[in-house]
Structures are given as structure tokens and as C-alpha cells.
Amino acid sequence: MPSRIDAFAPAKINLFLHVGDKRADGYHALESIAVFVDVGDKLIFEAADTLSLNVEGPFGAGLAADNDNLVLRAARAIARHENIDAGAAITLVKNLPVASGIGGGSADAAATLRGLVQLWNLTEVGPRVSRKIAETLGSDVPVCVECRPSWMEGRGEIVTRAGRIPPAMLVLVNPGVAVPTAAVFGGLTQRSGIDVASRIPIERDVWSLAEYLKSTKNDLEAPALSIAPVIGDALAVLRAQRGVYLARMSGSGATCFAIFESDSAAIAAADAIAAAHPGWWVKAARILT
């Protein structure tokens, strides 16, 4: 078995998010297209006798390395499922803001499954086991295991390949607030419902992607704004940039994203926003296809 495996946990962006009725299991029915970008957390897995987790990085202080951490929960789940009598010293470099609507914790859990499949030499059963375990860890974890542009349905566990998504450059902005997902769903008063978004293939260019998304919305944006009005400031700043096609909140917030007409426009906007708002987290990030 290898002695060390490095894994990337990319941020997940919900290009739109429609919410349906609350289900019998307490979850809401969802409909979304999720994409992943080239900005994310890093995980390092080293052979060891026991499982352990060390959290570091720019946002490491905001995340506890305790038994409820999704990384350790994922590690324990795959070890238990496969009867693994081995450990791993795991280091999580937390580059993404915590509780920010871009699936950081779920991406970390999914990367843990991928990393331990390699470290523990489970490649023959890895994909099947990872998908099965992902469903038990959270609504966003299954799509993060797939780690490609995907439709999300059900409570998030039904994942299918999306149409062709162009490798657009986005600008991500988090105004420095953490928004609890439960509180956002609790404040939801209007729902688009599910099965309302067109399933036609998305065209290859960025303009077509933006035009398609204008027929959709993020139902969680309004309740998130009521909890953290600064999200509105972030959206206003993004919409004021030159060359912007569309700006929207991702997931349950508070991270917002914008699609621009060109890579150069996106990079210029990210630089301008970061200079004007040094307390915000601002990144230019490319969609992974």
C-alpha cells in the first residue's frame, strides 16, 4: 500500500437551486445543477496505526477536528464497511470558508473516501462503496464523490451527469459570514418546486450558460438574505463589475458567484473586489468539466 496520498476537495457551486415540498424524512426535495471549480481544500493521508485528523490552513481555526467532523466520519464509515484494520493520519488544509454554501465539508468527506480507497488499496470496490457511504453522510456528499457537473435531485442523493458545461471562469465572493443551513431552510417561504428546469443540453459557450440560468433561481437566496443582509452587498458588488453576465448565491450561502464574458473580465473583477473589500474571501475559479 502507498504510504501517502494527496487528494483535492474542490468547492461545489450550485448554479441554481430549486426547492420542493418537505419530504416525510424531514428533508426538502431539491433540483439543482452543481459544478466544481479549481479552488478547494487539500487532504493528505499517511499510513498510521490509528485514525487521526489535524486541521490547518486559512480557515482551519473555524473547524474542530472532533468525532463529528465529516472527514473522520467518512474515514470511520469506510473502515467499518470494509473491515479495515488500519489507520491513517489525515491532514486537512482548510482553504474554503466554513458554512459557506459551497460544500466544503461535503467535498472533504468525499475526498476522504477517494483518498482512503487509494491508501488502503480498495480500488476494486472503491467507487461502489464510496457512493453507498456518501448517501449516509449528507445531502451534498454524493455529488461531491462524482466531482463533475451533475444534476442533483431527491434530497441531493440522486446524481446524474449534466449536459455540457463550458469551463467558464467564475468569481467567488464570501463576505465573511457563516450562514447556518437549517436556519436558511427554516426561513423559506417561497419554493420554485422541482421538475421545472429545462433538461435541454447546455450550449458550449459562457453566454448560453448564463442565458439558460436566467430561467432558474436559487430559492434559498431570499431567506439567506434575511439572515445575513451582507449577502446582498456581495451580489451588488458582483453585478456592478464590467463584463458580468449573471450573479447569484450558491447553496444556502453566504458565498456568491458570478459568470463573466471572458477570463480576463473575471480576473479583473476578482482583483478589484479583493482590493475594495479586504475582509472578504474572493477567488477567480474555473469550472472543472
Label residues 165-177 b or e (16+ Cβ within 10 Å = b): bbebbbbbbbbeb
Architecture of domain 163-288: 2-Layer Sandwich (3.30)
Q: How far is CA 234 from the centre of its chain?
A: 18
> Is residue 259 helix, strand or coil?
strand
The proportion of the chain whose per-residue pLDDT surpasses 70, expressed as a percent, equals 99
Fold annotation for 4-160: Ribosomal Protein S5; domain 2 (3.30.230)
Task: Write out the catalytic residue numbers.
Answer: 12, 140
- Whether the Cβ atoms of residue 197 and residue 16 lie closer than 8 Å to each other: yes
pTM > 0.85: yes or no: yes
The mean pLDDT of 178-187, rounded to a whole number, is 92
CA distances from 108 to 1, 40, 137, 142, 197 (A): 22, 9, 11, 12, 29
pLDDT of residue 123: 82
The mean pLDDT of 220-242, rounded to a whole number, is 98
Of 8 and 123, more confident? 8
pLDDT digits (tens, 9 = 90+) for 93-142: 999 999 999 999 999 999 999 999 999 999 877 788 898 999 999 999 99
- Whether the Cβ atoms of residue 194 and residue 235 lie closer than 8 Å to each other: no
CA distances from 45 to 3, 42, 87, 194, 268 (A): 8, 10, 10, 39, 36
The dihedral sign for the CA sequence 178, 251, 257, 144: positive
As a dihedral over the C-alpha atoms of residue 227, residue 284, residue 103, residue 239, rounded to 10 degrees, the angle is: 30
- Whether the Cβ atoms of residue 17 and residue 182 lie closer than 8 Å to each other: no
pLDDT digits (tens, 9 = 90+) for 239-278: 999 999 999 999 999 999 999 999 999 999 999 999 999 9
Domain boundaries, the chain: 4-160, 163-288
Q: How far is CA 93 from the centre of its chain?
A: 16
Amino acid of residue 83: N
